[in-house]
Chain A
Amino acid sequence: MVTLLATVLIHIARAALLVFGVTVLVFILVRAIPGDAVDVLAIEGGLTDSQAEAMRAGLGLTASWLDQFTAWCLSALRGELGESLRFHVPVADLLLQAIPVTLALGAASLATGFVLAVAIALIATLRPRSIVASLVDILNIWSIAIPTFCAGLVAILVFSLWLGWLPVLGNFLVPVIILGLDAAGQIVKPLHEEMKELGTAVYIRTARAKGLHPLKIVIGHILPAAAPVLLAMTGLVAASFIGGALTMEVLFGLPGVGSLAFNAVNGRDYPLIQAVVLFLAVAVILINALTDLAQRLVDPRPER
Chain B
Amino acid sequence: MAALLDVRDLGIAFPAPNGMLRVVDRVSWRLDAGQTLGIVGESGSGKSLTGLALLRLLPAAARLDPASRIRYRDTDLLDLSEADMRSRRGSGLAMIFQEPMASLHPLLTVGRQVVESIRRHTDCSALEARRKAAALFDEAGLPDPGRIGRRYPHELSGGQQQRVMIAMALAGNPDILIADEPTTALDTTVQAQILDLLRSLQAMRGLAMVFISHDLAVVTSMAHEVMVLRSGRVVESGSTGVVLSAPESTYTQGLVAARRRLSVRAPAATPSRSVGPECALELRDLCVDYPGRGPFARPVRAVDRASLTLSAGRALGLVGESGSGKSTIGKAIVGLARPTSGDLTLFGRPLAGDGWRLSRALRRRCQIVLQNPYGALNPRLTIEQALIEPFVTLGLKPPNGRQSRIVAGLEEVGLDAGFLDRYPHQLSGGQRQRVCIARALMSEPGLLICDEIVSALDASIQFQVLDLLNRMRTARGLALLFIGHDLEVIRYIADDIAVMHRGTIVEHAPADNVLDTPQHPHSRALIDAMPRLDVTAPSEAEDGWRAQHRSA
Binding site for B on A (CB under 8 A): 2-3, 6-7, 10, 201-203, 205-213, 220-221, 224-225, 227, 298-302
Check if A210 sits within 8 Å of B116, measured CB to CB. yes
Enumerate chain B residues within 8 angstroms of A300, measured Cβ to Cβ. 107, 152, 154
Contact B87 A211 (CB under 8 A): yes
Contacts of A212 in B (CB 8 A): 86, 116, 120
A202 touching B296, Cβ below 8 Å: no
Nearest CB in chain B to that of A205: its residue: B57
Please judge, given known A-B contacts A210-B168, A301-B152, whether A202 and B102 are in contact too, CB under 8 Å.
Answer: yes
Contacts from B to A (Cβ < 8 Å): 55, 57, 86-91, 94-95, 97, 99, 102-108, 116-117, 120-121, 152, 154, 165, 168, 171-172, 293-297
Interchain nearest-CB distance for B168 vs A (Å): 7
Q: Pick the 4 closest A-B CB pairs, nearest first.
A: A3-B294, A211-B89, A211-B90, A202-B102
B295: A residues at CB distance < 8 A: 3, 6-7, 10
* Known interface pairs A202-B99, A210-B117; A3-B107 also in contact (CB < 8 Å): no
Docked pose: A301 CA to B154 CA in angstroms:
7
Known: A3-B293, A207-B105, A224-B105. 13 other contacts (CB 8 A): A3-B297, A7-B294, A10-B295, A203-B104, A205-B57, A210-B117, A210-B171, A212-B120, A225-B105, A299-B107, A301-B107, A301-B152, A302-B293
Q: Say whether B94 contacts A209, CB under 8 Å.
A: yes
A221 and B105: CB pair below 8 A?
Answer: yes
Q: Closest CB-CB distance, B497 to chain A, in whole Å? A: 33
Given A3-B294, A6-B294, A301-B152, the answer on whether A210 and B103 have CB atoms closer than 8 Å is: no
The verdict on A203 contacting B117 (CB below 8 Å), with A210-B90, A211-B89, A213-B86 known, is: no
Q: Is the CB of A211 within 8 A of B105?
A: no
Q: Are B106 and A209 in contact (CB under 8 A)?
A: no
Partner of B57, one of A3, A208, A220: A208
What residues of B have a CB within 8 angstroms of the CB of A206 in the complex?
A: 97, 103-105, 165, 168
17 A-B pairs within 8 Å (CB atoms) are namely A2-B296, A202-B102, A203-B102, A203-B105, A206-B168, A209-B95, A210-B116, A210-B168, A210-B171, A211-B90, A211-B121, A212-B120, A220-B116, A221-B108, A225-B107, A300-B154, A301-B154
Chain B residues closer than 8 Å to A224, beta-carbon distance: 105, 107-108
Could you tell me the distance between the alpha carbons of A86 and B133 in the complex, rounded to whole angstroms?
69
**Shortest distance from the beta carbon of A154 to any chain B beta carbon, whole Å:** 42
Nearest opposing residue in chain B for A6, CB measure:
B295
**CB contact under 8 A between A209 and B90, given known A300-B154, A301-B152:** yes
A6-B294, A6-B296, A210-B172 known; A203 and B57 CB under 8 Å? no
A32 to B505, CA, bound (A): 69
Q: Which residues of A contact B293 (CB under 8 A)?
A: 3, 302
Q: Tell me the bound Cα distance from A2 to B152 in angstroms.
A: 23
CB-CB under 8 A from B116, the residues of chain A are 210, 212, 220
B484 → chain A closest CB, angstroms: 25
- Cβ–Cβ < 8 Å partners of B152 in chain A: 300-301
Q: Which residues of chain A have C-beta atoms less than 8 A from B99's C-beta? A: 202
**In this complex, what residue of B is CB-closest to A213?**
B86
- CA of A76 to CA of B104, assembled, Å: 52
The answer to whether A209 touches B296 (Cβ under 8 A) is no
B50 to A: closest C-beta gap in Å: 15
B89 and A225 within 8 A (CB): no
By a CB distance below 8 angstroms, the chain A residues around B171 are: 210
Q: Kindly provide the distance from the CB of B175 to the nearest chain A CB, expressed in whole angstroms.
A: 14
Q: What is the chain A residue whose CB lies nearest that of B152? A: A300
Chain B residue, CB-CB nearest to A204: B105
Are B91 and A211 interface neighbours, CB within 8 A?
Answer: yes
Q: Which chain A residue has the least Cβ–Cβ distance from B117?
A: A210
How far is it, in angstroms, between the C-alpha of A10 and the C-alpha of B294 when the chains are bound?
Answer: 12
From residue A237, how far is it (CB to closest CB) to chain B in Å? 22
| B281–chain A nearest beta-carbon distance, Å | 32
Shortest CB distance A217–B (Å): 10
In the complex, residue of chain A having the shortest beta-carbon distance to the beta carbon of B88: A211
User: How close is A229's CB to chain B, nearest CB, in angstroms?
Assistant: 12
Q: Which residues of B contact A210 (CB under 8 A)?
A: 89-90, 116-117, 120, 168, 171-172
A205 CA / B91 CA spacing, docked (Å): 16
Please give, as numbers and ranges, the residues of chain B lying within 8 Å of A201 by CB-CB distance: 102
Tell me if A208 and B89 are in contact (CB < 8 A).
yes
What is the minimal beta-carbon distance from B526 to any residue of chain A, in angstroms? 29
| B-side contacts of A203, CB under 8 Å | 102-106
Please indicate which of the listed interface residues B91, B103, B120 has the most CB atoms of chain A within 10 Å of its own CB: B103
Distance in Å: Cβ of A202 to nearest Cβ of chain B: 4
The chain A residue sitting closest to B107, CB to CB, is: A224
Complex formed: what's the CA distance from A214 to B295 in Å?
A: 43
Please, how many angstroms separate the alpha-carbon atoms of A10 and B296 in the complex?
13
| A87 → chain B closest CB, angstroms | 47
A220 to B172, CA, bound (A): 19
Q: How far is the CA of A134 from the CA of B198 in the complex (A)?
A: 47
How far apart are the CA atoms of A6 and B292 in the complex, in Å? 15
Q: How far is the CB of B538 from chain A (nearest CB, A)?
A: 35
With contacts A202-B103, A203-B102, A301-B152 taken as known, whether A211 is within 8 angstroms of B108 at the C-beta atoms is no
- Tell me which residues across on chain B come within 8 A of A205, comparing CB atoms: 57, 97, 103
Q: Which residues of A contact B165 (CB under 8 A)?
A: 206
CA distance A210 to B104 in the complex (A): 12
**Residues from chain A with Cβ under 8 Å of B297 in the complex:** 3
| Residue in contact with B97 in the complex, picked from A7, A202, A301, CB distance below 8 Å | A202
Give A79 to B165 CA distance when docked, in angstroms: 57
Complexed CA–CA distance, A212 and B55 (Å): 13
Known: A298-B107, A301-B106. A211 touches B154 (CB 8 A): no
Which residues on the B side are within 8 Å of A301 (C-beta)? 106-107, 152, 154
Q: How far is the CB of A165 from chain B (nearest CB, A)?
A: 46
Give Cα A302–Cα B295 distance, bound, in whole angstroms. 14
